[in-house]
Structure 1
Amino acid sequence: MSSSEHQAPSAATNTLKEEPLKLAVAISLLRSKFLQRHPPPPSLSDDALKWKRKAKERKQEILKLKDDLKEAEEASQCDIFPQTASCKCYFFDNLGKLSPNRLGDGSDRRFHDVLRRRFLRQVRLRERRRTCGSSRKRHAFGFSDEDQAEQLTASADFLVELCSSSSPVQESKFKNWSHQAVDFILAALKNLLSMGKNLESVEGVVSRLIMCLVREMSSPSRRDEARKSDTNSQLDIQHLLRKLGCQSYIGQRIILSISQRISVLAESLLFSDPFDETFPAMHECMFVMIQLIEFLVSDYLLTWSTNEDFENSVFEEWVTSLLQARKSVEVLESRNGLYVQYMDRVVGELSKLVGQSPALLKLNSGIFDALLS
């Protein structure tokens, strides 16, 4: 057999082997083009990852909605404001400082109705605790003399309890609630005095309020430690008394009570051991009380004298008591001459303001001469 005869069958065989290969290549090319135009569906693992990611996102959305719902519920319970909201007024401005201008008649009314309703809720809550088991019915404060008397009593009791060292509260709540209590006391007192009813009961409530606040102001600063605040509780209570003193009915009685207490404290300091651990607190208390009288006299005396309900008899009584207090601190001049200097400054300011008011010049001539001496 010749060589040409052997090569013919070999070529045919190679051609037959190349046909499947070409077919496979052609199919692969067609499939590649098809996949480019129509991408394959994701695998099961890709689907699982995608749904897992969506589930996680949905869970986060649900948690966020729950948090928003919780905040909305808490806001509805506390009248939209958080419980730790700071007092949005200027009530505690000039704390422990002389006012650059004369203060107006009445405390600032920049507080929001939300804070007012919160204060009312706190008063009623404490009243219910105090009257637990009684048949006393809860009702809103009204405008009758009985409602005004109840408002005065409840607000005064609330303020006393708020300032008590045995019931400390957060600083923000103390400022908010004390502001509301002072405004309620002043409003109720003004209405009751204008009605001219239950004056003996009113005087009893006011006297008790002043006595309790002055006692807390004069006691060691235990409430500071309980509240863990840098604010001096003595200055806080001094400021509350200063704000309450814008009403002459309260302010004159505050000065009378403070001047009497200065005389008692001066006697205690005279016989106290300077190295006793309570001596520094007594020393600080003396200055806080004298400073409070200075604040009340410089802020409100001229305003008081122009009011129709100004009580000349009470004025003469506290001026006499103040002059007696100045004599009481004179015996302490050898220990601390600042007491006498501070009292002389207060009496000098008082004498100057009395000379500027025609109504005050009508007081007892003996008292007026003592002021100028």
Structure 2
Amino acid sequence: MDSNPSSTSTSDPSSLKLAIAIALLRYKNLHCSSSSHPDAQRWRRKVLPQIVACRCHFFDVCGKPSPSSEQLGREGLWIDEVLRRRFLRLLRWKERRKNLDGSLRKRNSIEFNSEDEIDRINISIDFLVELSHSKIVENDSSFRTLSHQAVDFILASLRNLLSSEKGSELIEEMINGLILNLTQRMCTTENEGSLSSDSDADFCIQHLIRKLGDEPFIGQRVILTVSQRICIQVESLLLLDPFDDAYLGMHDNMFMMIQLIEFLISDHLHIWKTIEDFDWRLLEEWVRSVLQARNSLVLLESRNGLYVLYIERVIGEISKQLGPLQQGKLNLDILSNLHC
């Protein structure tokens, strides 16, 4: 008989079972610890990209044609009540701060009232103008969110006022002031160097105007104002030395303005003309102004023929959307000039 204790312990069935159990337990623990980390990583890769991608899409087509403008309607505007109240509180805070600073501009003796839509749109316009003159930084989530809320707030208040036919002259004055401020801001370079060339401040302001133009009360007046500004700028360019430092900036502004008109027409005109109370007389006024802008740009053809090609493309889009079916709503001379 073998009396070696080591062989005895090895052959003991209970010891062997215990050793196997310990080995299995260690293997199981080791396997779980090594696989838990990849599982966590897979979970993070699955969840975190969705969180990061959750952002404001207000500027997604900034400086680009709308990919599905034919499918967009005016009824898509919706303001979350929580965001509306939060934005209103921000406006109130800024208004109180202006009062404390003594810099509040009085307009026709209007006193702030949270229930008055005229006061709301008045302060919202001031807020958006002030925001547009601030330093706009690329991918600034604060600017994107606040400008988005301001635009939606202005459009909602404006539509409420237009439906109630309240203070029409004052509303038109405020909207014209907003358009003038934003178009002037679009054609300046206050934030030069703060943004990349693909997403600069000018395109951001252009996009704000484009979004506001969803409402024809604003959009039609924007086209009228910008087309008139084009005629004025043509006169300035004719008198300016092409080698002057300001020439390049004015050249860029010209394309920016023509592009804005094109965006407003392609994005919204097909919807505007279906509105029951659409202002066709105002449409005739800005169509004449756009045609006059084309005649003015012809004078610059020897310097830059692209101006005329670009404005002709815009007029072609107007002509396509205001075809023979609009004969009963538009003067024949306008239709003939569009199709000549």
TM-score bin (small chain): 0.7 to 0.9
Q: Decide whether aligned partners of structure 1 residues 89 and 108 sit closer, same or farther in structure 2, where only a CA change above 3 A counts.
A: farther
Q: Decide whether aligned partners of structure 1 residues 217 and 335 sit closer, same or farther in structure 2, where only a CA change above 3 A counts.
A: same
* Unmatched tracts of structure 1, length 5 or more: 1-84
Q: Decide whether aligned partners of structure 1 residues 360 and 180 sit closer, same or farther in structure 2, where only a CA change above 3 A counts.
A: farther
* Unmatched tracts of structure 2, length 5 or more: 1-51, 105-109
1:371 counterpart SS class: helix
1:177 corresponds to which residue? 146
2:305 corresponds to which residue? 337
From 341, 349, 353, the counterpart of 2:317: 349
From 270, 292, 295, the counterpart of 2:238: 270
From 328, 332, 339, the counterpart of 2:296: 328
Structure 1: how far apart are the matches of 2:255 and 2:63?
11
Counterparts of 1:204-243 in structure 2 under 5 Å? 204-220=173-189, 222-225=190-193, 228-230=194-196, 231-243=199-211
Mean Cα deviation higher: 86-95 or 342-351: 86-95
1:41 corresponds to which residue? none
1:194 corresponds to which residue? 163
Q: What is the TM-score of this pair, normalised by structure 2?
A: 0.76
From 63, 69, 90, the counterpart of 2:57: 90
Q: Does the 8 A contact of 2:155 with 2:212 survive in 1? A: yes
Q: Does the 8 A contact of 2:213 with 2:220 survive in 1? A: yes
**Counterpart amino acid of residue 200 in structure 1:** E
Counterparts of 1:242-281 in structure 2 under 5 Å? 242-281=210-249
1:308 corresponds to which residue? 276
Q: Does the 8 A contact of 1:242 with 1:296 survive in 2? A: yes
From 286, 294, 303, the counterpart of 2:254: 286
Q: Does the 8 A contact of 1:119 with 1:180 survive in 2? A: yes
Structure 1 residue 325: Cα displacement: 0.3
Structure 1 residue 359: Cα displacement: 4.3
1:362 counterpart SS class: coil
2:339 corresponds to which residue? 372
Structure 2: how far apart are the matches of 1:116 and 1:302?
29
Mean Cα deviation higher: 124-133 or 254-263: 124-133
Structure 1 residue 308: Cα displacement: 1.7
Structure 1 residue 121: Cα displacement: 3.0
1:289 counterpart SS class: helix
* Rg larger in structure: 1
Structure 1 residue 223: Cα displacement: 2.1
Structure 1 residue 270: Cα displacement: 1.1
Alpha carbon RMSD of aligned pairs, Å? 2.5
Correspondence 1:152 to 2:121: yes
1:8 corresponds to which residue? none
Corresponding residue pairs, total: 278
Counterparts of 1:28-67 in structure 2 under 5 Å? none
Q: Does the 8 A contact of 1:105 with 1:247 survive in 2? A: no
Q: Does the 8 A contact of 2:258 with 2:311 survive in 1? A: yes
Structure 1 residue 276: Cα displacement: 1.0
Q: Decide whether aligned partners of structure 1 residues 369 and 137 sit closer, same or farther in structure 2, where only a CA change above 3 A counts.
A: closer
Q: Decide whether aligned partners of structure 1 residues 281 and 294 sit closer, same or farther in structure 2, where only a CA change above 3 A counts.
A: same
Q: Does the 8 A contact of 2:112 with 2:119 survive in 1? A: no
**Counterpart amino acid of residue 189 in structure 1:** L
**Counterpart amino acid of residue 299 in structure 2:** V
| % identity of equivalent residues | 47
